[in-house]
Structure 1
Amino acid sequence: MTSREQLLASTFVSLADTLVADFDIVDFLHTLATRSVELLDADAAGIMLADQRGALRLMASSAEEARLLELYELQNNQGPCLDCFRSGRPVARDDLPAMRTSWPAFTDQLQGFGFHSAQALPMRLRAETVGALNLFRLKPGRLTDADLSIGQAMADVATVGLIQERAIATGEQLATQLQTALNSRVQLEQAKGVLAQRAGLHMDEAFQVMRAYARGHNRRLSDVAAQIIDGTLDDDHVRKGSRTRPGVPPRT
């Protein structure tokens, strides 16, 4: 088995493992985003999920540029991720002129970040679409059919996991969980900015440090973020502790 095949197998296991007591939806979706970049011919990825009112919200991204592009889509109501969620089908264009015809403002913003291609895959199960996975590339053109199949398979498995996890909760609990996840995401962005500024890190590096610390100490990302914001968790301690403690294997 090649290293790519091993990573793919590990990814499917991780995306299917949602029935655990400390299931963290933000970390789960970040795994999907980062593994999409590692396994596909994509340079960045972002994920949007629908909230209890059916409105799309940014939930995870593999890089700061992807996060900003996803937010731009939402703010301007334009882009492949939105079209994908509304139609429940994969959305792509062959080249930049075709993209500009469909999403003129978004395409300008995309090029401003150095990307030349964007396409989206639905996160769906049968007739239910819960969100979309956006894939950004530095070079123009669509993903290959093989990469599209793998990407859609990962999105499908993640969707099954999310719906399965949601099914154990009542409607009210589900709404609370989604709102909590959205609140946690906002808190994570705040903590990322605080840590980046205080420690002199890039935004993406700050998130990776927080995530590694949370995993290495078997803690929730949201709890670590809250302590970074209120100052009860020392920045140097977070950076030094982001390496897994001896005898404590990282969660996959």
Structure 2
Amino acid sequence: MTLREQEVAAAFAELTGGAARDPGDTQALLATLAEGGRRLFRARGAKVAYVPGGRSAAALTGGTDPSLGTLAADAVRWGEGAGYDARTTGCALVDVDVTTRSAQLRWPRWSARAKALGFGRATALPLRGRDEEIGALVLFTAADKPLDEEALALVRLFAEVAGHTLTLQRELGESQVLAGQLEHALSSRVLVEQAKGILAARSGQSLDEAFAVLRGYARSHQRKLADVAREVTEGRGELIAG
């Protein structure tokens, strides 16, 4: 395996491996994406914006250095820049000269900031989820650096994998939240059923009648049904005493 092949393999492994190790740390994944894209493209810097909930959702941003991280956040706020256009149109912008008059007219604040940071050219690649663009990776190079077509092909593939990885990470996080909610709901239901049985046994009521007493007490005292049920099962509270 050549040095270049090793570099490519490492970049992809870091991206997918990071998501697997800590599926809740999206910010770390974005940092890995920006740095991996920079290395593969042999760029001077990179920034990324990720909008996990669609175009109207809050964006997460990052960069290979703090100034580019700030530019990524500002570009989202401004609604301009090569990355913004790539994300909202789904089309890549390849080897754009950010110092030209047309770039300055198209993205006045973004192009001025990129130029001030010492960048002359930018390539923006959309990050695609299952059925829509969820972000963009922007790679910056010097004004006199020629486009490397082989590197562009690699980073296109890298961005494609990154989009799928971010989507899977989000879906995994949502499934974990749902599992937690279901577990909580099940635990609460078990507590309520236990409390019903205790009240019915002590009062001679039916289970339905015991549940009505339990629910009525919780409502009249503006408390959660599960909290009242827990007190009953633990032998605490007015209901159990009665």
TM above 0.5, yes or no, is: yes
Match for residue 8 of structure 1? 8
Q: In the alignment, which residue of structure 2 is the partner of 1:108?
A: 112
Name the CA distance, whole Å, in 2 between partners of 1:37 and 1:21: 22
* Distance (Å, rounded) in 2 between the aligned partners of 1:71 and 1:78: 11
Could you tell me how far apart the structure 2 residues matched to 1:30 and 1:141 are?
A: 24
Letter in 2 for 1:85: R
Q: Are 2:61 and 2:73, in contact at CA under 8 Å, matched by a contact in 1?
A: no
Deviation at 1:166, TM superposition (A): 2.5
Alignment check: 8 A CA contact 2:23 2:169 kept: no
Is the 1:94–1:142 Cα contact (8 Å) retained in structure 2?
A: no
**Is 2:133 the counterpart of 1:129?**
yes
CA distance in 1, matches of 2:21, 2:119: 37
| Identity percentage of aligned residues | 27
Spell out the pairing of 1:183-194 with structure 2 (5 A cutoff): none
In structure 2, relative to structure 1, the CA distance for the partners of 1:84 and 1:173 (3 Å cut) is farther
Alignment match, 1:91 = 93
- Which of 156, 162, 166 is the aligned partner of 1:162? 166
**2:49 aligned residue:** 48
The answer to whether the 8 Å contact 1:84/1:121 transfers is: yes
Distance 1:42 1:167, change over 3 A: same
What amino acid does structure 1 have at the position aligned with 2:10? S
- Tell me which amino acid in the other structure corresponds to 1:150: L
Q: Which amino acid aligns with 2:16?
A: A
1:31 match: 32
Structure 1 residue 167: Cα displacement: 2.6
Letter in 1 for 2:142: L
Alignment of 1:52-91 (within 5 A): 52=53, 54=55, 55=57, 57-91=59-93
For 1:169 and 1:26, the matched residues in 2 are separated by 14
* Structure having the higher Rg: 2
2:220 maps to none
* Count of paired positions: 174
TM-score (norm 2): 0.63
- Indicate conservation of the 8 Å contact 2:43/2:141, yes or no: yes
Question: What is the aligned-residue RMSD (CA, Å)?
Answer: 2.6
Q: Is the 8 A contact 2:50 2:136 kept in 1?
A: yes
Aligned partner of residue 78 in structure 1, secondary structure: coil
Deviation at 1:144, TM superposition (A): 2.8
| Structure 2 unaligned blocks of 5 or more | 179-242
Deviation at 1:82, TM superposition (A): 0.7
Question: CA-to-partner distance for each residue in 1:85-108, whole Å, 9 max, x for gaps?
Answer: 101111246433242232123212
* Structure 1 residue 118 displacement after superposition: 1.9
Higher helix share: 2
